[in-house]
Amino acid sequence: MQSSSTEKTTPVIEDYLQTIYSLHAEGASVIGARLAEAMHVSAPSVTAVIHRMAGEGYIKLNEHKEIFLTEKGNSAAEIMVRRHRLAERMLTDLLGMSWADVHEEAHRFEHAISNLVEQRLMEVLNSPATCPHGSPIPGSRPTMPQPGIPLDRLKPGDTAKLQRVTEKVEVNRALLIYLGDNKVKPGATIKVVSISPWDSNMVITCEGKDVPIDLDTAAQMLMER
């Protein structure tokens, strides 16, 4: 796979491009407040960067102030997302690190990965389709899969396969350790046992074991039938 080069961008803009891309891929609408929450920065900081990105042609806003990537922005975002997710795969598949530890570590690598290194990683890793958290690697498939159904929308008795966890779960190391210890990882078949909306919890079964989980977390777990 060939990776196209992009004009020089700053790490800050690259981070924004990745976050906007990931939120859209998870089926979320992107506005300034949601971007600020996802990136753990202030609203004025987001406003300043968004203004700059719009001026440089990476994004456009509609009348509702929703943020969309332009063709230029999407191309640049795909490169950064691909390098981040390949770095995560390198850390898990080659170095044996836990899926709970690789998101932050991959962030240290992604900005420094060149076209040549990216292509070599794809070869060594045998062109992986997803990152360890289940998110698709851009360019690995002819078309990107549609976002799955959030687990909290399923009903007791429903069974589905875990497609991926969202970025919000990826950055929560303790939660990833809990899910991993209970075999709740992408590809696992999960059955909803019970839902208790009055205390915001549900119980699922994974590999024959009951696993309690809160509904906020369930909303960040995307399933496929």
Mean pLDDT over 192-197 rounds to 94
pLDDT, position 26: 85
pLDDT, position 225: 84
Please list the residues that pair with 61 across neighbouring strands. Answer: 67
Q: In 3D, which of 49, 73, 52, 69 has the Cα closest to residue 61?
A: 69
pLDDT, position 27: 82
Percent residues over pLDDT 90 in the chain: 81
3 state SS of 193: strand
φ, ψ of residue 97 to 5 degrees: the values are -80, 155
Mean pLDDT over 97-102 rounds to 97
> Would you say the C-alpha torsion 2, 6, 10, 12 has a positive or negative sign?
negative
Mean pLDDT over 113-133 rounds to 95
φ, ψ of residue 42 to 5 degrees: the values are -80, 155
Task: Please state which CATH class domain 1-144 belongs to.
Answer: mainly alpha
- 51-65 pLDDT per residue, tens: 999 999 999 999 999
Q: What is the CATH architecture of 149-224?
A: Roll (2.30)
CA atoms of 103 and 32, how far apart (whole Å): 23
**Confidence category of residue 144, pLDDT binned at 50, 70, 90:** low
CB atoms closer than 10 angstroms to residue 108: 9
All structural domains of the chain with their residue ranges: 1-144, 149-224
Whether the full predicted model's pTM is greater than 0.95, yes or no, is no
